[in-house]
Amino acid sequence: MTERTEHVTCTFCGCLCDDITVEHEDGRISSVSRACPNGRAHFLDYAPAPRLPRIRGEEASWEEALAEATRILNAARSPLLYGLSSASTEAIRKAVSLADRLGAFVDSTSSVCHGPTGLAMQAVGEPTCTLGEVRSRADLLLFWGCNPAASHPRHFARYSTTAKGRFVPEGRKGRTVIFVDVRLTPGARSADLFLRVDPGCDFEVLTTLRALVREKPLREQEGVCLGGVSLGVLRDVATRLKSCRYGVAFMGMGLTMTRGRDVNVAELFRLVAELNTYTRFSVIPMRGHGNVTGADQVLTWQSGFPFAVSYARGYPRYGPGEFTAVDLLRRGDADAALILASDPAAHFPSRAAARLASIPTVVLDPEESLTARGATVWLPTGKAGIDVPGSAYRMDGVPLRLRPFLAPRRPSDEEILGRLLEEVTP
Amino acid sequence: MIRIRGGCIVDPANGVDGEVRDLWIQGGRIVAPPSPPVSEAEVLDAEGMVVLPGGVDLHSHVAGGKENMGRKLRPEDHREHVRPREGSLRSGSGFTVPSVFLSGYLYAEMGYTTVMEAASAPLFARHAQEELEDLPMVDKGLFITLGNNHFVLECLARGEEELLRNYVAWLLRATGAYAAKVVNPGGVENWKWGRNVSSLDEEVLSFGVTPRKILSGLAESVRKLGLPHPLHVHGINLGQARSAGTTVDTVKTLDGLGGHLCHLQFLSYEEAGEGSSLFRSAASRVATALEATTLSLDVGQIVFGGATTMTSDGPLEYALHRLTGAKWINDDVEGEGGGGVLPLSYDRRSRLSAEQWITGLELFLLLRDPWRLALTTDHPNGGPFFCYPQIMRLLMDRSYREEVIATLPPKVRSGALLPSLDREYSLSEIAVITRAAPARILGLRNKGHLGIGADADVALYDRVFTDGTPCRCAKYPSCRRALSRVRHLVKGGEVVIRDGKIVKEVSGRRLCVVPPFDESLEPRLRKQFSETYSVAFENYALEEGEFPHREVVPCSKT
């Protein structure tokens, strides 16, 4: 018999759309409506049937696999816990407890994603708002270095450009949309204004914009082009930013993972803060993984720091660039790793990935990812929001309860981490 | 069964001041001495110790969205303030914004066993509850902000009192909260268009209501629902020279309706002189207005040194950003309110800081009735909660107070009332403002005292008096140190600190209210959700059993 569950939350990306309807039959998902292509794949590609763990590629019982995982973690002198961002908040809480107990390094996918955004926030602060405020009030939207049409496809319709809200009943017609990027992305095509910035020149453009907003006298100089954008265009943008009623900037990897990184982001955050002298303006980072914001939150409330934490001395220390997973691996500082809900073997730079392949790894992942295939122990757990309960944090920090609709047939990350927490010796 | 033997008991709620006798505990409660005497009881030797009820903090920003933004914002606050993992206890870091486990341990070590998280937007309640889940050692509750909530504003604009009451009841249940709070009513909604409110009669843009209407409407709803704690009020004009005027007006508006005025120190200033950009203490004006009512307050005393301001008062944080240039967080929350975070330091050489410090102490010393007053620093806004013992000493020890006053800027010192106030708090009065009164103001009948049937939350301090009179530590120079750290602590009937060391981590209970509401509200709620929220109505409320350790505190329907 086909069952129908409504208001399911999709945890693929940081939008956490919570209006998905899923139909399922005999423990298999048969149809998904309202989800974007990413979200559909998130649900439909998951085969919830139980699987046996693998130890070095060979199937093993759960008890054997847990014993081997415990042995690996106990034998390690400086283990690394990495990932977190697609797991439930409850699982992340357990993972950070485990890191504390082991004296381990713990880092989330933030460090290869919006880590620099965190650093910028720590440097200059961050005026922000929830996505519902964007929908209700924003009459100007500035997308900088992000491509929501591919990464967050329903963002436009649910929260931003085309959404209708209390104070913007006209929807798209009531909003000015500006895109800034190095190339014309699909979303940028429908913008009112597109600024093509030369690769690596975001900081120059942002600084100039700040100066124009503050009405500093600037002179156009022959032959000098600011990152590919003319001063005249920037003057126009500055005027628009200052004269809107409620502006919101969204930013992505185009700022965080190009030359300048956190310095780029801090410059945008400064611009946004300063715009509040003239109007109201906020910024929302376009967080990727479904619960990467939750990973930041839990690490912060348990350790004080959002990512790149070392418990090696028995208390939390913060070290972006030092305790971040890629840097630890490249230096050869981690001698074992527990990977939760992420696929670093597929995404890390080759030297870091090579080091990861050379140390014992315990991988908790519903799917047999590249990292899981190379793992010493792979523990095939359930998937939060499908057959595992829990909560997740949206990109704007709004926490949502996940609504599992399939009966659990696999152990959850939370249970497995709880077992490991009991078994390991501190 | 536990027998606390031979301690000097200070329990003002039961009229006990320095009686040396035993205290018996069973099943998490204080019980009558068994007769015939039981021999197998666990004995906690309290000879030479002062026995107080566990401390009750009724206003502290200790867990939730803003708090965590504050932690994330300030790695510089944590680096040199760390606590290593010990046995099964967790490690942590942070000074003004300590990590969650560390906060629980620090509260317990100071002898506090109940803490109220002072503000969360309802939309972020789940976050606050998740952090509270990780806050060990204390019983806890959550206040939710309602003063800029669109549904509330619309009910008030249309005069739908019953619907409003129903909504407040539903929202408290949906968020697992303990009390309703307003923060800068109307001002935060106006801030979303770059404005604020400066008087109780200014209009809230596009809603056609005034701060006065919001205050009286919500206070009335809370009263009619019979909630254990009255409306918790953070008024308008906080931190500004005109605040005393609007505070007096707020007091008059709430008189008869009930209300608790929080961190009133920050709202008791007046202009230092005609056209002056500085403010000075107007504590006496505010205290006089309060004396004529039955409203309660907590002080929000500042402590010289580092702090992190965090409040749901968005425009205030922006004003502080303009004033200091410090890194600034703002967060506008859809349909509900907003907030902000900003690091701040109180410097005794600064005239503004000194005035704030004086204002708080004057409030403490001018209000004759300690039963309406609670000691807070509005943690971490006025300073971290673990500085409470410093404030206790300032209140108990006039000579110490004079020493500190002497270090303040002469211009501030000379005009102030404080140097002429010679009142000294007794230890019993300290027990009132840190235990009995906050428990009574919160409507927690089983807390803040040591009578039969009370929750067995008991703090044992090394004896702090030498002058012969039992349990008065007024002249005792080390009372601050003595009250800083318990010798033993019993929480919910279990010994959790022994000889100053945490021997057991307990999770504490989650205090909440479940006022009755009428389902007829739902169609209106659904409409509200589709218009205002970016989350589904079905996914908003906490689920039954989503959080364990729940204890329902009954409402008294009037």
**Cβ–Cβ contact A318 with B under 8 A:** yes
The whole-number pLDDT of residue B480 equals 55
pLDDT at B472 over 50: no
Chain B residue closest in CA terms to A130: B333
The whole-number pLDDT of residue B18 equals 87
Chain B residue closest in CA terms to A278: B194
Subunit contact A97:B333, Cβ cutoff 8 A: no
Subunit contact A304:B91, Cβ cutoff 8 A: no
Subunit contact B99:A401, Cβ cutoff 8 A: no
The whole-number pLDDT of residue B252 equals 97
Preferred mutation among B72, B131, B151 to probe A, highest tally of A CBs within 10 A: B72
**pLDDT band, residue B558 (cuts 50/70/90):** very low
Long-range contacts of B202-211 (CB under 8 A, 24+ apart): B204/B153, B206/A167, B207/B150, B207/B153, B207/B154, B207/B157, B208/B157, B209/B153, B209/B156, B209/B157, B210/B186, B211/B147, B211/B185, B211/B186, B211/B187, B211/B236
Range(s) of the domain holding residue B342? 55-442
The CATH number that applies at residue B496 is 2.30.40.10
User: Could you read off the pLDDT of A352-396 as tens digits, one per residue?
Assistant: 999 999 999 999 999 999 999 999 999 999 999 999 999 999 999
Examine residue B540 and state whether it is found in any structural domain, yes or no: no
Chain A (93-122) residues lying within 8 Å, Cβ to Cβ, of chain B: 93, 97, 100-101, 103, 118, 121-122
**Cβ–Cβ contact A279 with B under 8 A:** yes
Sign of CA dihedral B149, B150, B151, B157: positive
Residues B450 and B437 both lie in one domain: no
**Cβ–Cβ contact B176 with A under 8 A:** no
Instruction: Provide, as residue numbers in chain B, all residues whose Cβ is less than 8 Å from the Cβ of A123.
Output: 327
Residues B451 and B331 both lie in one domain: no
Subunit contact A315:B83, Cβ cutoff 8 A: yes
| DSSP per position, A337-391 | EEEES--HHHHS-HHHHHHHHHS-EEEE-SS--HHHHT-SEEE----BTTTB-EE
Examine residue B197 and state whether it is found in any structural domain, yes or no: yes
**pLDDT band, residue B276 (cuts 50/70/90):** confident
Instruction: Provide, as residue numbers in chain A, all residues whose Cβ is less than 8 Å from the Cβ of B65.
Output: 397
Chain A residue closest in CA terms to B533: A132
Residues B85 and B227 both lie in one domain: yes
The whole-number pLDDT of residue B479 equals 58
> Three-state SS for A121?
helix
The whole-number pLDDT of residue A220 equals 74
Instruction: Provide, as residue numbers in chain B, all residues whose Cβ is less than 8 Å from the Cβ of A158.
Output: 534
pLDDT at B466 over 80: no
**Partner-chain residue, chosen from B75, B341, B543, that has the shortest CB–CB distance to A318:** B75
pLDDT at B475 over 60: no
The whole-number pLDDT of residue B35 equals 84
Domain ranges across chain A = 51-112+290-383+410-423, 115-285
- Are A51-112+290-383+410-423 and A115-285 in the same CATH fold? no
The CATH number that applies at residue B350 is 3.20.20.140
Asked if B276 and B269 count as a contact pair (C-beta separation under 8 A), the reply is no
* Distance, CA of A328 to CA of B169 (rounded, Å): 51
pLDDT at B464 over 70: no
Distance from CA of A131 to the nearest CA of B (A): 7
Subunit contact B91:A314, Cβ cutoff 8 A: yes
Query: What would the CATH number be for the domain defined by A115-285?
Result: 3.40.228.10
Residues B134 and B175 both lie in one domain: yes
Instruction: Provide, as residue numbers in chain A, all residues whose Cβ is less than 8 Å from the Cβ of B71.
Output: 300-301, 304
Subunit contact B327:A303, Cβ cutoff 8 A: no
Examine residue B134 and state whether it is found in any structural domain, yes or no: yes
Instruction: Provide, as residue numbers in chain A, all residues whose Cβ is less than 8 Å from the Cβ of B535.
Output: 18, 132, 398, 400
**Partner-chain residue, chosen from B72, B326, B546, that has the shortest CB–CB distance to A306:** B72
- Residue B273 CB-density burial (10 A; 0-12 exposed, 13-18 middle, 19+ buried): exposed
Subunit contact A300:B68, Cβ cutoff 8 A: yes
**Partner-chain residue, chosen from A125, A316, A391, that has the shortest CB–CB distance to B73:** A125
Residues B303 and B353 both lie in one domain: yes
Cα angle at B324 between B403 and A301, to 5 degrees? 85
Residues B172 and B242 both lie in one domain: yes
Instruction: Provide, as residue numbers in chain B, all residues whose Cβ is less than 8 Å from the Cβ of A304.
Output: 71, 75, 78, 92-94, 97-99
Residues B263 and B356 both lie in one domain: yes
- Residue B544 CB-density burial (10 A; 0-12 exposed, 13-18 middle, 19+ buried): exposed
The whole-number pLDDT of residue B557 equals 62
Distance from CA of B79 to the nearest CA of A (A): 7
* Distance, CA of A380 to CA of A373 (rounded, Å): 11
Residues B486 and B377 both lie in one domain: no
Examine residue B532 and state whether it is found in any structural domain, yes or no: no
Residues B211 and B70 both lie in one domain: yes
Mark which of B473, B502, B531 sits at the end of a domain: B502
The whole-number pLDDT of residue B273 equals 84
Mean pLDDT of chain B: 94
Task: Please state, as a whole number, how many other Cβ atoms lie within 10 Å of the Cβ of residue A113.
Answer: 23
Two structure tokens written together for A238: 């500055």
User: Could you read off the pLDDT of B409-434 as tens digits, one per residue?
Assistant: 999 998 899 999 999 998 899 999 99
**Cβ–Cβ contact B331 with A under 8 A:** yes
User: Could you read off the pLDDT of B327-351 as tens digits, one per residue?
Assistant: 999 999 999 999 999 999 999 999 9
Subunit contact A125:B321, Cβ cutoff 8 A: yes
Q: Which amino acid is at B485?
A: R
Residues B308 and B377 both lie in one domain: yes
Contacts of residue B517, defined as CB under 8 A and 6 or more positions apart, other chains included, come to: B166, B167, B169, B170, B173
- Residue B432, Cα to own-chain centre: how many angstroms? 15
Preferred mutation among B154, B328, B330 to probe A, highest tally of A CBs within 10 A: B330
Residues B93 and B202 both lie in one domain: yes
Q: How many domains does chain B have?
A: 2
Query: What would the CATH number be for the domain defined by A51-112+290-383+410-423?
Result: 3.40.50.740
pLDDT at B473 over 50: no
Instruction: Provide, as residue numbers in chain B, all residues whose Cβ is less than 8 Å from the Cβ of A306.
Output: 72
Examine residue B260 and state whether it is found in any structural domain, yes or no: yes
**Cβ–Cβ contact B527 with A under 8 A:** no
**Cβ–Cβ contact A246 with B under 8 A:** yes
* CA torsion angle A396 A398 A404 A405 (round to 10): -90
Distance from CA of A183 to the nearest CA of B (A): 30
Residues B278 and B206 both lie in one domain: yes
Distance from CA of A283 to the nearest CA of B (A): 10
* Distance, CA of B539 to CA of B351 (rounded, Å): 49
User: Could you read off the pLDDT of B116-125 as tens digits, one per residue?
Assistant: 999 999 999 9
pLDDT at B37 over 80: no
**Cβ–Cβ contact A161 with B under 8 A:** no
**Partner-chain residue, chosen from B72, B90, B534, that has the shortest CB–CB distance to A130:** B534
DSSP strands (E only) in B161-230: 179-183
Mark which of B393, B418, B442 sits at the end of a domain: B442
Chain A (163-192) residues lying within 8 Å, Cβ to Cβ, of chain B: 166-167
Chain B residue closest in CA terms to A98: B90
* Distance, CA of B118 to CA of A349 (rounded, Å): 45
Subunit contact A303:B333, Cβ cutoff 8 A: no
**Partner-chain residue, chosen from A18, A128, A296, that has the shortest CB–CB distance to B535:** A18
Examine residue B43 and state whether it is found in any structural domain, yes or no: yes
**pLDDT band, residue B474 (cuts 50/70/90):** very low
Task: Over range B274-301, report the average pLDDT.
Answer: 94
Examine residue B553 and state whether it is found in any structural domain, yes or no: no
Distance from CA of B323 to the nearest CA of A (A): 13
Chain A (123-142) residues lying within 8 Å, Cβ to Cβ, of chain B: 123-133, 135-137
**Residues with pLDDT less than 50, chain A:** none
**Partner-chain residue, chosen from A137, A246, A316, that has the shortest CB–CB distance to B93:** A316
List Cα–Cα distances, B12 to B285, B399, B486, in angstroms: 28, 25, 19
